């Protein structure tokens, strides 16, 4: 029996999903789909078969592990600065694209694959959640991820993958940065925020205030008196 080609696309973290991206440019050889850092082939497969060819060795966050030679216990230190990828962070705070990210890593060969541990240092920019002023947040995040060998039975959501003796740190860095960012960033813990009436920056004018004003929703009732209420007897009815 001949099985039909199985369309697969690969994520840059060395993992893959059985789904076709209609917008993926096909710039590789016939029968392949080229993505930013991974080339994937349309090969005969059954069920959820996956055929990953390679990671882009020139991608800043791709590491070559051939030096470890799959010898458990062998390791090497990696110290490098890489440009931040696009959309690294959250809607509120993001690391500006291209900003330097300092990596201090230990890459170690273990029985299951390659274990990466270390730290990443960078900065995130955004706005204070109270006063909307621009802020910078220094980030020093811990990194740890096991990248299993292709023959491993581990699920894709349990570990990264070693692809052609290379590993991709992009998803590891993204997860660590997002978890390290504050949910409501503040320029300072006691930031007074903005005036709810006029939007003035209260930090610049602590004595700022407004005269008490009537709620405009009750303005139509301002001229009413006790005698104007429905059902109140007039002078001739008493």
**99-135 pLDDT, tens per residue?**
999 999 999 999 989 999 999 999 999 999 999 999 9
Look up residue 25 and give its two tokens: 């440019």
Query: What integer pLDDT is reported at residue 140 of this predicted model?
Result: 95
Task: Let me know if residue 33 belongs to a domain.
Answer: yes
Average pLDDT on 18-37 reads 41
Are 25 and 32 a contacting pair, CB within 8 Å? no
CA gap 173, 130 in Å, rounded: 28
Burial class (CB in 10 A: 0-12, 13-18, 19+), 219: exposed
| Count of other CB atoms within 10 angstroms of residue 83 | 14
Percent of the chain with pLDDT over 70: 68
Average pLDDT on 197-209 reads 81
Same domain for 172 and 72? Answer: yes
Model confidence at 88: pLDDT above 50:
yes
Same domain for 42 and 65? Answer: no
Same domain for 17 and 45? Answer: yes
Domain count along the chain: 2
Please provide the distance, in angstroms rounded to a whole number, between the alpha carbons at the two ends of the chain: 103
* Burial letters 168-198, b for 16+ CB under 10 A, else e: bbbbbbbebbeebbeeebbbeeebebbeeee
Same domain for 9 and 79? Answer: no
| Alpha-carbon dihedral 173, 24, 58, 102, rounded to 10 degrees | -20
| Structural domain boundaries enclosing 123 | 60-187
Average pLDDT on 63-69 reads 89
Model confidence at 177: pLDDT above 60:
yes
Q: Model pTM?
A: 0.65
Model confidence at 9: pLDDT above 50:
no
Same domain for 3 and 99? Answer: no
Model confidence at 162: pLDDT above 50:
yes
Look up residue 219 and give its two tokens: 């303005």
Same domain for 83 and 173? Answer: yes
Model confidence at 49: pLDDT above 90:
no
Range scoring the smallest mean pLDDT among 20-24, 126-130, 229-233:
20-24
CA 77 to centroid of chain Cα atoms:
26
CA gap 39, 53 in Å, rounded: 6
Same domain for 37 and 130? Answer: no
Residue with tokens 């205030």: 209
Are 76 and 104 a contacting pair, CB within 8 Å? no
Query: What integer pLDDT is reported at residue 30 of this predicted model?
Result: 43
Same domain for 145 and 91? Answer: yes
Task: Let me know if residue 201 belongs to a domain.
Answer: no
Same domain for 27 and 94? Answer: no
Model confidence at 143: pLDDT above 70:
yes
């Amino acid at each position: 029996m001949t099985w039909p080609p199985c369309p697969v696309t690969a994520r840059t973290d060395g993992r893959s999903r059985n789904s076709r991206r209609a917008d993926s440019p096909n710039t590789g050889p016939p029968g392949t789909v080229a993505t930013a850092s991974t080339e994937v082939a349309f090969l005969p497969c059954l069920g959820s078969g996956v055929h990953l060819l390679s990671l882009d060795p020139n991608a800043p966050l791709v590491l070559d592990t051939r030096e470890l030679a799959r010898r458990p216990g062998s390791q090497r230190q990696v110290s490098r600065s890489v440009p931040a990828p696009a959309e690294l962070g959250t809607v509120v705070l993001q690391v500006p694209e291209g900003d330097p990210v300092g990596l201090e890593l230990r890459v170690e060969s273990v029985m299951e694959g390659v274990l990466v541990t270390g730290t990443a240092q960078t900065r995130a920019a955004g706005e204070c959640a109270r006063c909307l002023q621009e802020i910078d947040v220094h980030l020093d995040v811990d990194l740890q991820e096991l990248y299993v060998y292709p023959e491993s039975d581990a699920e894709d959501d349990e570990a990264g993958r070693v692809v052609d003796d290379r590993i991709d740190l992009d998803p590891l860095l993204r997860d660590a940065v997002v978890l390290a960012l504050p949910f409501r960033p503040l320029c300072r813990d006691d930031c007074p925020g903005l005036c709810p009436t006029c939007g003035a920056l209260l930090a610049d004018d602590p004595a700022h205030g407004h005269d008490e004003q009537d709620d405009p929703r009750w303005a139509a009732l301002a001229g009413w008196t006790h005698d104007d209420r429905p059902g109140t007897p007039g002078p001739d009815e008493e």
